Structure 1
């Protein structure tokens, strides 16, 4: 092994630049969405978004309201994907019970809960405003 070989990254994907990097990154992102679809919680949220995202355009009275409503739905999906990635990484380490693994999974679940509370609160507030005479 020469001195130059040690300077190469362990992952050859890191050598990509420009459009090749963008193309491959998009492929990885799509693979992540497909993997997320295999998770029941993400699938439920994605199906709900099919209804909620168009409804945001009806419910929102300005582009700011529409952006907040759609953003809150997308935030739930983002947090769910991050939670699933944490759970997957922990499960890869091993199936045995460990307090730190439980703590990480619980915190991920709490993050999902908080994103759902935020989303629900925004939608309830927007509905209440819309239904006022």
Structure 2
């Protein structure tokens, strides 16, 4: 291999429509796996679904509904990324290591920030409806 060539994984997807088709089914497998094996994802999804319905029913502008639902989706996205980080770390080794701990803690901190943003967004948009 020359200096300017890069290795490409044999698992790298193809291009074109087939790539889009495959990516969709890989995503569905990811959702199924997260549902089966990730307790936090299940809990957050079971909170996000009714909350999204509530957001749609609230007497607020459409952009506020989008924000309320968007922050819920953001929590799910960050949780999936956190789960992916944890899976990769565990794949490498179950042995305790400071860098493994950092990776997992960083992912957890990202989820925490997403949850705080969601809570703040809901508070700013929904509380005024009840307070006056």
* TM-score, normalised via structure 2 length: 0.88
Aligned-residue Cα RMSD (Å) equals: 1.9
1:30-41 superposed matches below 5 A: 30-37=28-35, 38-41=37-40
Residue 13 of structure 1 and its aligned partner are, at CA, apart by 4.4
Q: Which deviates more, 87-96 or 51-60?
A: 51-60
Q: When the two structures are superposed, what TM-score results if normalisation uses the length of structure 1?
A: 0.87
1:24 matches 2:37? no
Post-superposition shift, 1:17? 2.5
Q: Conserved in 2, the CA contact under 8 Å of 1:60 and 1:126?
A: no
Gap runs ≥5 in structure 2? none
Aligned residue in 1 for 2:88:
89
Q: Equivalences for 1:1-133 in 2 at 5 Å?
A: 9-11=8-10, 13-14=12-13, 16-37=14-35, 38-59=37-58, 61-133=60-132
Tell me by how many angstroms 1:18 deviates. 2.2
* Off by >3 Å, runs of 4+ in structure 1: 6-10
Q: Partners of 1:101 and 1:114 in 2: how far apart?
A: 20
Unaligned stretches of 5+ in structure 1? Answer: 1-5
Larger radius of gyration: 1
